[in-house]
Amino acid sequence: MEVWPGDAYPLGATYDGNGTNFALYSEVADSVTLCLFDEDGNEEQIRLSEVDGYVWHCYLPQVMPGQKYGFRVDGPNDPENGNRCNPNKLLLDPYAKAVAGEIDWDQALFGYNFGDENSRNDEDSAPHMMMGVVINPFFDWDGDRKPKTPYHQSVIYEAHVKGLTELHPDVPEEQRGTYAGVAHPSVIAHLQKLGITAIELMPVHQFVNDSTLQEKGLSNYWGYNTIGFFAPHNVYSATGDHGQQVQEFKAMVRALHLAGIEVILDVVYNHTAEGNHLGPTLSFRGIDNASYYRLVDDDKRYYMDYTGTGNSLNVGNPHSLQLIMDSLRYWVTEMHVDGFRFDLASTLAREFYDVDKLSTFFELVQQDPVVSQVKLIAEPWDIGPGGYQVGNFPPQWTEWNGKYRDTVRDFWRGEPSTLGEFASRITGSADLYESSARRPVASINFVTAHDGFTLQDLVSYNEKHNEANGEDNNDGESHNRSWNCGAEGPTDDPNVLSLRARQQRNFLATLLLSQGVPMIAHGDELGRTQQGNNNTYAQDSELSWINWDSMDAPLMEFTAAVNTLRAEHPTFRRRRFFDGRPVRRGEGEALPDIVWLTEDGTPMSPDDWDTPVSRSLGVFLNGQGIRGKDARGQRITDANFLLYFNAHDEAVKVTVPAKEYAPMWDVVIDTAGEYADADPVPADSQLSVAAKSMAVLRAHAEEEEHDHSVAASLAALAGSKAQQNPGTAE
C-alpha cells in the first residue's frame, strides 16, 4: 500500500475526500503500527515512521470511509513504573470518530494472565476487539441553525436514547432504541407539547458493556463507561456500525434543531472503561498509560480512583487535556450539539489532589472560543475527599443542584424545619450562587434524575427495591427522602392513589415554577415506574424503558399546562435574584419584588421562619419587580402572582393579602383540583389550600375578560386520574 508522510494534526483518522491521514500521540512508544482490517478480519500492518512531537502519523491515499483500523504500540512494559505497552494488543484510536463491534472479554484483551496479575499475556487481542472506523465527515446540514435558547427560557428533559424510544408505538421497530427513533416526529411532537427546549441525552459516547454485568445476564444500560470520546455509541444506530452512526446522529440533531430543541450530551471525561490495574488493555492504557491516567505516586502500578470506577483521567497532563478539549470542540463544531453535562465534574478539577475550580481544565474552557459558548452543566461532586462542590464552579458554569432536590423532597413529604431552605431553593439558591456573581440560572433544578427513584416511585416507595440488580438490594442510595403516601408499592386504595397523584403534581409544579432551570427526567410526566428500583444502571429492559401504552395522560397534560404558564410569564424565569427592595411603577403603593406571607396574609417575621412545626408557606411575586429588559430594550413587566405551598396533612386556610397587592385574584393552578371554574378571589378573603397541595393565583385584570380555561383545565386534570381509575396502582 502506498504510504505518504501525512501530518501530525489533527489526531485520529481524517478523511479529506482523497485519502485518510492517521495520527496517534504516544510519548512512551518505541514504535507504532497502524493496522487495517478488511471485512473478513484480515489485517494489514503499516509501521509508522513519521513522528513529530510524540505524534506518529501517515497518510494513505487509498483508504476511504468505512475502513476499520486500530493501532499496536511497542514500548516499555513495566507496570511498576506506570508503563503497559504491548504490541500484541490491538488498541482503539482515542480519536476514532466511529467504532465497529464490541469486545467479548476474552483473556487476550488483558495484559496479564488471569490469576497472576504480575505475569505478561502476549495473546493477540485483535479478534476480540472493537475497531475504529474511518468516517465520511461530509453531511448536508440543510441550513441547520442552533436554537441558542437562553438559560432562563430553558426546560431540560433528561432522556436515554433507548429508554425513550424502545417501546414507542409510533416509532418503526427498526428505529426503536436509536438516534433515528429520537428524531421520529412522534417523539419530537411529545417534547414540543411539553414545552421542552433541550433534551439532555444520557451517555452516547462509545462505551463498554461490563463483563461482571454480562455474567449476571445484565448490561451497562446507563453507559457511564466510555472508551471513545469522539464516537456515537454504535448500538444506538439503526443504520449499522460502520460509520453510518455518525450520519444518523447528525440527522437526529438536525431534526431536533428544526423543532427548536437543543441537544445536550451527558459526558464522562472523568474515567474510561479500562478500569483499574486488573482491567483490559483496550486503548489509552496500551498507548501511553502514564499520560492518560492518574497513577498512585509511590506505586504507579495502581490508579487513583476518584470516581469509583477504577481509574481517573489525568487532567494534569496536557495531552489528556487536549483529548478532552478536542472532543468537546468536535461535538460542537462537527456534530452541532448545544452543550454538555459533565458527569462527576469535580474529578476534572483535581489537578493535583484537592478540587480546584481554577484548575487548568476550567481555564481552558474559559478561554476556548467554541466550548465556552455552549451550555456547560456540572454534576458538582465525585467520591474523593472534598468532592461535594455544589455552588463552587466557575461563573459560566451551571450545576445540578442536589440541594434543591433534597430540600423539595423533604418539604413535600412533611419534614419539619424546612421552610427557610425551601424558600431559598425555589427562588434560585442565592446562598449558593449570588456571591460568585452568578444568577438564578446557575441552578439546574431537579427532583428526580436517572440516578434514583422516578417521580412515580418517589411517592410510592419508602424503601429501594433493587433485587433485580443481583446485589441483594445493597446497591443504590438508601436515604431517598421519599414517602409512599401510606402503602409500599402498588395498591388499589383510592385515597393513597389520589394522594400520590397530587404529590406528583406538587413536585412538577414546584419544579417548573421555581427560579432557575428546570430539568424533568424522561417519563416522569407520564407516570413511569421502575417498581421501586432506584439504581437501574444495569437494567436494559422494560423496567427502565418508558411504557407509552400505560402513560398517565392527565399528568402529561398537567405538566404541559404548567410549563406553558412558566413560558408565558417571566416572573417564573427571572434572570436576576430577588432583592426584596420596593418597586414603584406608575401609580400605587411601592411593593417589594418578593414578599413571604404567613397564613393570615401578613409578611413573615424571623420567628415565623423558625417555627419547626410549620409546613405551609405563601409568597407574593411582584410582576413589576423583574428589573430587566427584553431583546428590544423594552422593560419587562408581568402580572403579580401568589403561590401557596401546603405540606400539612390537613387543609390550611390562608388570608389573601390586602388589596395593595391586587384587588382580585384568579386561581390558575390548584393541584388538589378544588377550584375549577372558581370566581376571582378578592383581597382580604380566605382561601382553603387543601392538604398536600399547591395553589397559584394570578392578579385579576379588570379590563380583560376573565379566562377560566387555564384554571379549569389544570384543576380538572388534578383529580382526574384517581377518579377515572380508582382501582389501579400508579
Q: Which residue do the cell numbers 440488580 mark?
A: 469
In the chain, the amino acid numbered 232 is P
Alpha-carbon span 410 to 427, nearest angstrom: 17
- Considering only CA atoms, which of 236, 173, 176 is closest in space to residue 203? 236
Q: What angle do CA 490, 531, 521 make, to 5 degrees?
A: 115
Alpha-carbon span 574 to 242, nearest angstrom: 47
Which residue among 343, 351, 524, 552 is the active-site one? Answer: 343
Alpha-carbon span 667 to 681, nearest angstrom: 8
CB 128 within 8 A of CB 164: no
Phi then psi dihedrals of residue 419, to 5 deg: -60, -45
Which residue among 262, 379, 540, 638 is the active-site one? Answer: 379
CA 549, 551, 556, 557 torsion-angle sign: positive
For the question of residue 363 being annotated catalytic, the response is no
Count, residues in the chain? 730
Strand segments, DSSP code E, in 489-597 are: 517-521, 582-583, 591-592, 594-597
The answer for 548, left when phi > 0, alpha when psi is -120 to 50, beta otherwise, is alpha
For the question of residue 262 being annotated catalytic, the response is no
Alpha-carbon span 5 to 88, nearest angstrom: 25
CA dist 117 to 71, 120, 153, 600, 631, Å? Answer: 24, 8, 54, 72, 63
CB 164 within 8 A of CB 546: yes
376-385 burial: b if 16+ Cβ within 10 Å, else e: bbbbbbbebe
**Alpha helices, DSSP H, located in 301-398:** 318-333, 360-367
Within 10 Å of residue 679's Cβ, how many Cβ atoms? 12
- DSSP secondary structure letter of residue 441: G
CA dist 303 to 82, 151, 221, 384, Å? Answer: 9, 38, 25, 13
Q: Give me the active site residues, please.
A: 343, 379
